Amino acid sequence: MLLDDRVVVVTGGSRGLGLAMVHAFAERGASIVIASRKFDNCEAVAEEVKAAYGVPALPVACNVSDWSACDTLIDTVYREFGRLDVLVNNAGLSPLYPTLDAVSESLFDKVVAVNLKGPFRLSALACARMAQSAGGAVINVSSVAATRPEPSSLPYAAAKAGLNALTEGLAQAYGPSVRVNAIQCGPFLTDVATAWTPDVRKAAEARIALGRCGEAEEVVGAALYFATNASSFCTGAILRLDGGAR
């Protein structure tokens, strides 16, 4: 599962699951583009990656909910590296709200923009260019909420369900040279989990066959599978990575 001479873009790459994937790809020889809203965070990760693995690492500030920012990100990657091999649509957002009728239009639009609109635009741009050259892979980071929606995160769940549909549709649109797959994640102990109360975590783990939440590093195996030729006959797939959640 080496990634020598590959260029990999990870949105939301400065923390959580994105950060774990950035380190895994860099460790295996990939040139990395770390994209998130805050440039300083991306820059810090880029310096860390270059020092640890000796690979090129480019920080790019990008709010994926902004259509033009998505265009700029892909243009920047091709200007700097001349190619793109793997796009990981990992940036996500799921704000809290008291009740469904209290969800504002702006909050709803923001959730859909980050979790669905951005991945659509980035994937369409990346896949079109990949298909014209040596091909590549797109990895969408989805959620169990897409198929097991909870009232407390319904706009997010709907957006992730759309991302699952996008995964299968893009796989059909850009095959055979571009593969598009999704990792449907359950609860992981990233920085987001620090806001959970003990009762929330206990309730989540009670619904998981493995009896625990995932650690960020446990996304790496699935990400490497989809990013490399190990999954050469796999596209349009949605892999549950949720510890056996029900």
In whole angstroms, how far apart are CA 166 and each of 121, 162, 232? 11, 6, 20
Structure tokens at 64: 């994926």
| Among the listed residues 145, 157, 172, 177, the one whose alpha carbon sits nearest the alpha carbon of residue 237 | 172
Decide: 4 and 32 in contact? Cβ < 8 Å.
no
- Cα 62 to Cα 72: distance, rounded to the nearest angstrom: 8
Token pair 């796999």: residue: 234
Degrees, nearest 5: CA angle 119-125-131 = 120
- Cα 71 to Cα 51: distance, rounded to the nearest angstrom: 29
Indicate which residues carry an active-site annotation.
156
In whole angstroms, how far apart are CA 9 and each of 157, 187, 204, 238? 24, 23, 31, 20
What is the three-class DSSP state of 26?
helix
Q: How many CA atoms lie within 13 A of 126 on its CB side?
A: 31
